[in-house]
A and B are shown apart, each in its own frame.
Chain A
Amino acid sequence: MADNLNDSTSRAPVSQTGHVIPPVDDEGMIGARVTLTIDGQEVKVPLGTTIHDAAKRAGIHIPTLCAHPDLCMAGLCRVCVVEVEGMRTLQASCAYPVSQPMKIHTHTRKVRQARRHIIDLMLSHHYGECYACGRNNNCELQTLAKEYGVDFFRFGHPDKPMYAKDESSHSVIRDMNKCVLCRRCVRTCIDLQEVGCLEAVDRGDKTKIATFMDKPLADVVCINCGQCINRCPTGALRANDPTDEIWAAIDDPKKHVVIQTAPAPRAAIGECFGLEPGHPLTFELNTAMKLCGFDKVFDTNFTADLTIFEEGAELLLRLQDALKTKKGPVFLPQFTSCSPGWVKYLEHFYPEYIPNLSSAKSPQQMFGAVIKTYYAQLNNLDPKDIVTVALMPCSAKKFECNRPEMTDSGFKDVDYGLTTRELAKMIQEAGIDLPKMAKSDFDSPFGSATGSGVIFGTTGGVMEAALRTVIELVVGIKVENLFDHADIIPLRGMDGIKYVELTIPSVGEVPAILKPLFESWDFLKGVTVKVAVAHGTANAHKVMEDLKNGGPLSQCHFIEFMGCPGGCIGGGGQPIPTSQEIREARAKAIYAEDSAYPIRKSHENPAVLELYTKFLTEGPCGHKSHKLLHTHYTPRGKYIAE
């Protein structure tokens, strides 16, 4: 049913979306193929394949800059030009879909000269020094300059900046002096994320990437997802980096510095150390962080499991109100609230749906609140001396921890959001070779969590964790009876929107921990629970439009939204580059880790159950939970004040 919802509804101009190329499929395309001769080599490709991709099949590398595998074609940097016999001009190979046999040459004198000129022209506008740049050794412009043997600035090089840096945002810093106008960020923001807060403005050599009316990024509809950072080829876009402050806290003997780590960074950080995507380094990382000087290392999965209790209880309460007590307006479907990019997207674009958002804080923020209260008590620490750092795959988490309402512990619940890239840098700075570290466990009292907590890191994971728990607590049977190995496969994979129905055949006893909220589950007997999953805010946009129009998804009870394509594994703080392939490899690592855990279900996490007996004694959604673990949201709207 969600099939048509997975069609593209991009509102980007055609010049940005370009020609939609049919997927390159080896099977079933017999007859619709073209034979190209590339550098003398014959290649047979499906109709509509770009010259660039055809060359790639033949093992020929054509450099690119404005092209990105996640984005629609653009054809504007012209670095990828090739010579086609019979054509006067060179063609941009990334943007030329083939429809007839052609003879192509990828590195003639004209081509090499043109590429070198183009690189020289970019450098003539590029103010920045590689050794003082966050993207040193991870920069596509630098790589191009190297590949094409740039050893002097043929057309000059700026000696002073043209633009002031925009450091207004907690999440994304823009230094347009390093921008090469490839517009990947523009296409990311409008096409992939449906936000559209970046656009090319002005013409000619005055062209620049700007926000609405050139306002600071913090004042426009930016959702802080950082997807633009992940796709920027240069150092023009960066995350707001707190590593100096964190080092200072570590160096301060009075400070007790704890770090919580989310599953997605652990699955990806190896890429910063030369490993192929898909090698989780969870336990090596624990050792490395201790070596860096963090006092305690905790697993965010602990609060992911806690979230399942809080958010799950909230959902069951809404369902009880809708189906049994029938009191008050009930806002269904309930939306997940753990992705701060998504939350801000909703606040801007669909503020009228704020009541549908779960009031549960994200695992990061729950952890912060628990550390500065429960953990401080347990260890006789003054919460003002505790510094909480959150290792996250996400740039929006930096904004989230700075939300004014996130101080329920009486202090700033989470002091710093640290991205995967930034922690990798700290580890390198400490001279640690991460992949070679010995493994060590997380610190008590939170211990290492469950497989359900781990899969929070990928699209569908929150829903899978929630269903595992709801099935067992409500139906009273083992998930394994319904899904092999408790793997709820229909919720997995990279489809933009996924949908699952599950009829509750019979109900069991209400477990003790939920007794304060529910007498019995009778109201759920025979109910068909409908859930959906969307990742990347462009897909969220489609779901929201469907809800507004009373479409099929408006019948859902619960919808998981993650702001980034692929979920957290594709977050804006993850290693660069990114692509569907890379995200799939990271997701695979996450699922492998899940199945390796002895405990797979959130409601069986002993540390969480202990927290409810010792601290949150009224149980999920109780008074104390509400104070510490739940929050409220701000309607923001699309319109930007003068």
Chain B
Amino acid sequence: MITPNHKAPLTFATIEPDAGLKAALAKPRVDLIAEITASQLKGRGGAGFPTGVKWNLAAAAQADTKYVICNADEGEPGTFKDRVLLSDHADLVFEGMTIGGYAIGSKIGILYLRGEYTYLRAHLDAVLAARRAKGLLGKNVAGKQGFEFDIQIRMGSGAYVCGEETALIESLEGHRGEPRNRPPFPVDTGLNKLPSVVNNVETFAWVTSILVKGSAWFKAIGTQRSTGLKIFSVSGDCKQPGIYEFPMGITVAKMLEAVGGSDAKAVQIGGASGHCVPASEFGRVIAFEDVSTGGSVIVFGAHRDMLHVAKNFLEFFVEESCGQCTPCRDGNPKLLGGVELLEQGRCSMRYLNELSSLGETMQIASKCGLGQSAPNAFLSIVKHFKDELMGRTQGEAH
């Protein structure tokens, strides 16, 4: 486990408790959603869907019961920022969920907590109890007549795919955690077939912060298409691993400098499902329009064997694929088999090309984000480190 080692205190530490909720409840629902939309906040779970748009769709959906779901399944290898947020800033997250409840017209919030984070459960229950005692949950929340909202915690059981929002919903319904077809989307047909908003832990914390500091503040930070600040979980071959807050649009090089990893050979951004950026491309920016990420940054030093890295990730996907769709279920083991052949120096160029093209199929034909991103690391490593990989060729056995 990596100990948080903040360079500077997170913005979240400076947000006055309950101020965001009060500001939100003072606004009509439309204006509240307009404020979130104006900040151009995009989901911090990885996919980067505009939060305001999502909430607007859920608010417009006609139903007596709706759900606000906080995705705390944090399963992406190399990510631990949600864990830190939940231990240090749980109030901010719950406040953001309550704001969401008000915005979309929901009474029920659910925190879907990663099974491995069970140790946080007691702490989170205590925070919720304290909020109930203070009238920040329950009937007439924070004195707002007629606004009722409460939050329950539900535990995951260790499947990475249950972080995918529709699989998460299946899991909440008591079924096998498998992604659904979309459309329909959760905002329309979610938990128990009712409109549901699913957002990442960090997204909710930023919602609260935006209501305190204003959308203009948030929008002024970052790039045109990726506004605001982002929390990163940095690990690997660097001097100061830990939790960092950077503005969106920071270059890979700048970030490496800040964490003491400038001599890296490559950086894996976005976890196992992200992209492997080689040193030659450290000038690229971390933003939804370039290298997008849910926050995981893994630094690889010069001594790392990139094939080993690819193998590690593929083993993860072979294990975590839900097994539903053909490209992901049967494709990942083929890519892994290819890596093993490469290791033994027995993979022909022809077969490597075949596997790369299979990887491209997986990216576009898999049913959910897991299979669609599973080949990313393999493909970027093959692209950038082909010489290192083929250097081992001993013969054309395959």
Give A contacts to B, CB under 8 Å.
13-15, 18-19, 73-79, 81, 88-90, 92, 95-97, 99, 110, 113-114, 117-118, 121-122, 124-125, 154-155, 180-181, 199-200, 202-207
Distance of A80 from chain B, by nearest CB (Å) = 10
Instruction: Please list the 8 inter-chain residue pairs (A to B) with the smallest Cβ-Cβ separation, ordered nearest first.
Output: A207-B323, A13-B175, A121-B330, A204-B321, A114-B365, A117-B361, A75-B181, A95-B181
Of the candidate stretches B119-127, B226-234, B331-339, the one touching chain A is B331-339
Q: Is the CB of A78 within 8 A of B323?
A: no
Contacts of B358 in A (CB 8 A): 117, 121, 155
Q: Which residue of B lies closest to A118 (CB)?
A: B326
Most buried by A among B179, B317, B354, B364: B364
CB of B159 closer than 8 Å to a CB of A = yes
| Cα–Cα, bound, A95→B366 (Å) | 13
Partner of A121, one of B318, B334, B357, B367: B334
Is the CB–CB distance between B319 and A204 below 8 Å?
Answer: yes
User: Closest residue to A154 on the B side, CB-wise?
Assistant: B354
B253 within 8 A of A: no
Q: Is the CB of A114 within 8 A of B361?
A: yes
Residues of B within 8 A of A19 (CB): 181, 183-184, 189
Separation in Å of the A320 CB from the closest CB of chain B? 49
Any A CB within 8 A of the CB of B254: no
B371: nearest residue on chain A (CB-CB)?
A78
B residues near A124, Cβ cutoff 8 Å: 330, 334
Once the chains are docked, how many angstroms separate the CA of A99 from the CA of B318? 35
Q: How far is the CA of A114 from the CA of B326 in the complex (A)?
A: 11
Pair A99/B193 contact, Cβ less than 8 Å:
no
Beta-carbon contact of A90 and B365 below 8 Å: yes
- Of A96, A113, A206, the residue contacting B361 (CB under 8 A) is A113
Q: A18-B181, A19-B181 are in contact. List 8 more A-B contacts (CB 8 A).
A: A14-B180, A15-B166, A92-B367, A117-B358, A118-B327, A121-B334, A122-B330, A199-B176
22 examples of A-B residue contacts, CB within 8 angstroms: A13-B175, A14-B173, A15-B166, A15-B176, A15-B180, A15-B181, A15-B324, A74-B181, A75-B325, A76-B326, A89-B363, A89-B365, A96-B183, A113-B357, A114-B364, A117-B358, A117-B365, A121-B331, A180-B326, A204-B317, A204-B323, A205-B321
How far is A204 from B334 in the complex, measured between Cα atoms in Å? 12
Q: Tell yes or no: B237 within 8 A of A by CB.
A: no
State which residues 308-324 of B face A: CB under 8 Å.
317-324
- Beta-carbon contact of B173 and A75 below 8 Å: no
From B184, B322, B330, B367, name the one whose CB has the most chain A CB atoms within 10 angstroms: B330
Q: How far is the CA of A203 from the CA of B325 in the complex (A)?
A: 11
Given A18-B180, A75-B367, A78-B326, residue A203 in contact with residue B193 (CB < 8 A): no
Nearest-CB residue, chain A, relative to B359: A117
- For chain B, give the interface size range: 35 or more
Chain A contacts for B357, CB-based, 8 A: 113, 117
Q: Are B180 and A206 in contact (CB under 8 A)?
A: no
Chain B contacts of A118 at CB under 8 A?
326-327, 361, 365
- Cα-based distance from A90 to B366 in the complex (angstroms): 8
B18 in the interface, Cβ–Cβ < 8 Å? no
Q: A19-B189, A90-B365 are in contact. Are A121 and B327 (CB under 8 A)?
A: yes
CA distance A122 to B325 in the complex (A): 11
B372 at the interface (CB under 8 A from A): yes
Q: Which residue of A lies closest to B190 (CB)?
A: A14
A204-B361 in contact given A14-B193, A75-B181 (Cβ < 8 Å): no
Residues of A within 8 A of B219 (CB): none
Say if the beta carbon of B263 comes within 8 Å of chain A.
no
Using CB atoms and an 8 Å cutoff, list the residues of chain B in contact with chain A. Answer: 159, 166, 169-170, 173, 175-176, 178-181, 183-184, 189, 193, 317-327, 329-334, 354, 357-358, 360-361, 363-367, 372
A79 to B323: give the CA distance in the assembly, Å: 15
Least CB distance from A90 to B in Å reads: 5
Set A88, A97, A113, A207: member contacting B183, Cβ < 8 A:
A97
A77 to B180, CA, bound (A): 13
Q: Of A14, A15, A155, which is within 8 A of B334 by CB?
A: A155
Q: Describe A's contact surface by its main secondary structure.
A: loop
The residues of A that contact B333 with a CB separation of less than 8 Å are 204-205
Residues in B neighbouring A181, C-beta threshold 8 A: 323, 326, 329
Residues of A within 8 A of B175 (CB): 13-15
A205 to B335 Cα, complex, angstroms: 12
Query: A97 contacts which chain B residues (CB < 8 A)?
Result: 183
B31 CB to closest chain A CB (Å) equals 29
Chain B residues, Cβ within 8 Å of A121:
326-327, 330-331, 334, 358
Chain B positions within 8 Å of A95 at CB level: 181
C-alpha spacing A81/B170, complex, angstroms: 24
| Residue pair B367, A76 in contact (C-beta under 8 Å) | yes
Name the A residues within 8 Å of B319 (CB-CB). Answer: 203-204
Given A78-B367, A95-B181, A97-B183, are A205 and B318 neighbors across the interface (CB < 8 Å)?
Answer: yes
Q: Are B179 and A15 in contact (CB under 8 A)?
A: yes
Task: Report how far A125 CA is from B337 CA in the complex, Å.
Answer: 14
Structural contact, A204 and B326, CB atoms closer than 8 A: no
User: Cα distance A124–B166 when bound, in Å?
Assistant: 29
- Tell me if A122 and B326 are in contact (CB < 8 A): yes
In this complex, the member of B169, B331, B367 whose beta carbon has the largest number of chain A beta carbons within 10 angstroms is B367
Q: Are B324 and A76 in contact (CB under 8 A)?
A: yes
Q: Which residues of B contact A204 (CB under 8 A)?
A: 317-323, 329, 332-333
| B367 & A205 in contact (Cβ 8 Å cutoff) | no
Contact of B321 among A77, A88, A96, A203 (CB under 8 A): A203
Complex alpha-carbon distance, A96 and B181, angstroms: 8
- Check B325–A78 contact: CB distance below 8 A: yes
A205 touching B364 by the CB < 8 A rule?
no
Residue of A nearest to B362 (CB): A117
In the assembled complex, which residues on chain B have CB atoms less than 8 Å from the CB atom of A15? 166, 170, 175-176, 178-181, 324
In the assembled complex, the CB of B67 is this many whole angstroms from the nearest CB of chain A, namely 14
CA distance in complex: A110, B178 (Å): 26
CA gap between A203 and B176 in the complex, in Å:
10
Q: Which residues on the A side are within 8 Å of B321 (C-beta)?
A: 203-205
B181 and A78 contacting across the interface, CB-CB below 8 Å: no
Cα-based distance from A114 to B173 in the complex (angstroms): 32
Contacts of A92 in B (CB 8 A): 181, 367
Tell me the minimal C-beta distance from A618 to chain B in angstroms. 56
What is the CA–CA distance of A376 and B165 in the complex, to the nearest angstrom? 68
> Could you say which of A73, A75, A79, A110 contacts B364, with CB atoms under 8 Å apart?
A110
Let me know if A78 and B170 touch, CB within 8 A.
no
Q: Which of B184, B360, B366 contacts A78 (CB 8 A)?
A: B366
Residues on the A chain within 8 Å of B176, using CB: 13, 15, 199-200
- With both chains docked as a complex, state the minimum distance between the C-beta of B108 and any C-beta of chain A, in angstroms: 18
Q: What residues on A are CB-neighbors of B323 within 8 Å?
A: 181, 200, 202-207
CB nearest neighbor in A for B167 = A15
- In whole Å, how far is B121's beta carbon from the nearest beta carbon of chain A? 25
Q: Which residues of B contact A88 (CB under 8 A)?
A: 364
B330 and A78: CB pair below 8 A? no
Task: Report how far A92 CA is from B184 CA in the complex, Å.
Answer: 13
Please give the distance in Å from B212's CB to the nearest CB on chain A. Answer: 35
Structural contact, B324 and A205, CB atoms closer than 8 A: no
Q: What distance in Å separates the Cβ of A22 from its nearest Cβ neighbour in chain B?
A: 13
In contact, B365 and A78 (Cβ under 8 angstroms): yes
A90 CA to B318 CA, complexed, in Å: 22
Task: Find chain A residues with CB under 8 A from B184 CB.
Answer: 19
- Which of A14, A73, A155 has the largest count of B CB atoms less than 10 A from its CB? A14
Q: How far is the CA of A88 from the CA of B47 in the complex (A)?
A: 13
Could you say which residues of chain A place their CB within 8 Å of the CB of B178?
13, 15
Q: How many angstroms between the C-alpha atoms of A19 and B181 in the bound complex? A: 8
A76 contacts across to B, CB distance below 8 A: 324-326, 367
Give Cα distance in the complex from A179 to B375, angstroms: 25
In the complex, what distance in Å separates the CA atom of A88 from the CA atom of B326? 19
B-chain residues with CB within 8 Å of residue A117 when the two chains form the complex: 327, 331, 357-358, 361, 365
**A114: B residues at CB distance < 8 A:** 327, 361, 364-365
Expressed in whole angstroms, the Cα–Cα distance for A634 and B334 within the complex equals 49
Whether the pair B367, A203 counts as a contact (CB closer than 8 A) is no
Closest to B191 in A: A14
Chain A residue numbers with a CB within 8 Å of B331 are 117, 121
